[in-house]
Amino acid sequence: MSIAKILKTNSKIERRDPLIQDIVRARKSQRFTQGQLAEMSGVSRRTIVLIEAGGDCTLSTLHKVTAALGLRLTAQIKHIPTLDDVTRENEALFASARSSQLN
């Protein structure tokens, strides 16, 4: 494979969702074809192609695919700022801006 083709392939992978990137990298690092992964996970090759292209799938399908690759799905709770958080942040920014104007 040429350097240009490798760079183009890596560029496509980088634009994908991080979860999909992990699935594609795991499949390729284990040297599985899409067909082999489909057989191991009990889904169709078309499903693997669609997932890797960023298509939607069910959680159970995603679990089958990641389990076949030896990956583990986990959920992380992301802090979502409350209105109070945003108000405090804005007040602090306003106070800082006002202070720098007075000095």
pLDDT at residue number 16: 78
Average pLDDT over all residues of the chain: 87
Task: Look up residue 78 and give its DSSP letter.
Answer: P
Are 78 and 60 a contacting pair, CB within 8 Å? no
State how far the Cα of 103 lies from the Cα of 94, in Å rounded to an integer: 14
What is the rounded average pLDDT of the residues 57-82?
92
The number of C-alpha atoms within 13 Å of 6 and in the hemisphere containing its C-beta is: 4
**CATH hierarchy code of domain 3-76:** 1.10.260.40
- Band of residue 7 on the pLDDT scale cut at 50, 70, 90: very low
Return the residue matching tokens 């990641």: 66
In the chain, what are the domain boundaries? 3-76
pLDDT digits over 9-56, tens only? 555 545 778 999 999 999 999 999 999 999 999 999 999 999 999 999
State how far the Cα of 1 lies from the Cα of 96, in Å rounded to an integer: 55
In this structure, the chain runs to a length of 103
